[in-house]
Amino acid sequence: MTTVDPHAQDGAEPARTAPCPAPSVRPDPSPLRFHGAVALVVGAAHGIGAATAERLAAEGASVVAADLDLEAATARVASLPRIGEADHAAVGLDVTDRGGVDEAFAEIAERFARIDVLAHVAGGNVDHGGPAQTGDEVWEGLLDLNLMGPVRTVRAALPLLRRSDRAAIVTISSVNALVVIGGEPYAAAKSGLLAFTQNLAAHVAADGIRANAVAPGTVRTRVWHGVEGGADSLAPLYPLGRVGEAADVAAAVAFLASDEAAWITGVVLPVDGGLLLQGPGPGHG
Ligand SMILES: NC(=O)c1ccc[n+]([C@@H]2O[C@H](COP(=O)([O-])OP(=O)(O)OC[C@H]3O[C@@H](n4cnc5c(N)ncnc54)[C@H](O)[C@@H]3O)[C@@H](O)[C@H]2O)c1
């Protein structure tokens, strides 16, 4: 919360002396870290975004669930917990449609005076061949969805985030941005998203806005339904013995968005069951 300058003149705008106060070493036992906060979750209808919306609402936030799939976002909003005065809303938003993003934010601004948390989760990958077979259309589509999408939502959200005294942005990258797993356009887009998030963090820090990224490993969502063996077939790759659940990622997003992370900005947090720990194995170093 902002510390108010006691010397400010009556009626004058109070000076912001501590935009990111330190958390107490004896934290408030209340689990409602987002009580009174407005959280915009982009891609909230399904998967990791839906779990993030659920988690933030359960901790007291008013959630704006934005998604391409407005019908599913509306159903999601209806099922979210409502704590106290929380007021959830569903908004149709295609992050690949520049004009549409601006229209959606005009709708959000009519209903909410500010945004405290922006969790940009929407993204995805498609099947395509190796570098020699992958044409411009696939590259442009994946870069547009996974890199320009978050760029557009952050750009449109900044005026509303600047009205908050605890603003935090969390983007969802991927372990594909950190190690070579395959899928060049997706990996390039998610690496670009990390660079964008870190440059953004440096740029908006003076406004008291934090920006961090989460890099999940395999998370059991609908995107794995068509894959032979499903997400669980990849469990043996994970030192912790299982693939991730959407709730694992939502918990990390909630931490980075909360005041407990008040002095953390510009980081990428892998949420990967230890996947990135693995080197070439014993005897190689
Ligand atoms: N599932 C995984 O294994 C995994 C791993 C690493 C990173 N990720 C990333 O996590 C994020 C969420 O993935 P998920 O597995 O939950 O996927 P999902 O398909 O279950 O959910 C994605 C959500 O984004 C929405 N969306 C898609 N395109 C959109 C657009 N153009 N505009 C607005 N909304 C749009 C969808 O409607 C859906 O609600 C993605 O960015 C993905 O790249 C997923």
For 117-152, write each residue's pLDDT tens digit.
Answer: 999 999 999 988 888 889 999 999 999 999 999 999
For atom 15 of ligand 1, which residue has the closest CA?
A: 221
- Domain containing 93 equals 38-217+245-275
Substitution candidate for ligand 1 out of 74, 96, 174 with most atoms within 8 A of CB: 174
For atom 40 of ligand 1, which residue has the closest CA?
A: 123
Higher pLDDT, 30 or 214: 214
**What is the pLDDT, as a whole number, of residue 13?**
47
pLDDT tens readout for residues 143-168: 999 999 999 999 999 999 999 999 99
Residue 62 lies in a domain: yes
Distance 253 CA to ligand 1 centre (A): 14
Region 13-26: what's the mean pLDDT?
Answer: 62
Question: What is the count of structural domains for the chain?
Answer: 1
pLDDT tens readout for residues 159-204: 999 999 999 999 999 999 999 998 999 999 999 999 999 999 999 9
**Domain at 161, CATH number:** 3.40.50.720
Which run of H or of E encompasses 167?
Answer: none
**What is the pLDDT, as a whole number, of residue 29?**
62
**What is the pLDDT, as a whole number, of residue 19?**
61
Residue 197 lies in a domain: yes
Residue 183 lies in a domain: yes
Q: Could you tell me the two tokens for 124?
A: 């995805």
From the list 121, 68, 74, the residue with the least C-alpha distance to 92 is 68
How wide is the angle at C-alpha 49 spanned by C-alphas 108 and 107, nearest 5°?
10
Higher pLDDT, 281 or 171: 171
**For the CA of 186, the nearest atom of ligand 1:** 43
Substitution candidate for ligand 1 out of 54, 67, 276 with most atoms within 8 A of CB: 67
Backbone angles phi, psi at 270, to 5 degrees: -70, 135
Distance 212 CA to ligand 1 centre (A): 18
Residue 118 lies in a domain: yes
Residue 238 lies in a domain: no
Distance 15 CA to ligand 1 centre (A): 40
Residue 12 lies in a domain: no
Q: Binning pLDDT at 50, 70 and 90, where does residue 276 land?
A: very high
CB 253 within 8 A of CB 170: yes
Which residues approach ligand 1 with their CB closer than 6 A? 43, 45-49, 67-69, 93-96, 121-124, 145, 172, 174, 216, 218-219, 221-223
Residue 20 lies in a domain: no
Distance 121 CA to ligand 1 centre (A): 6
Amino acid found at 256: L
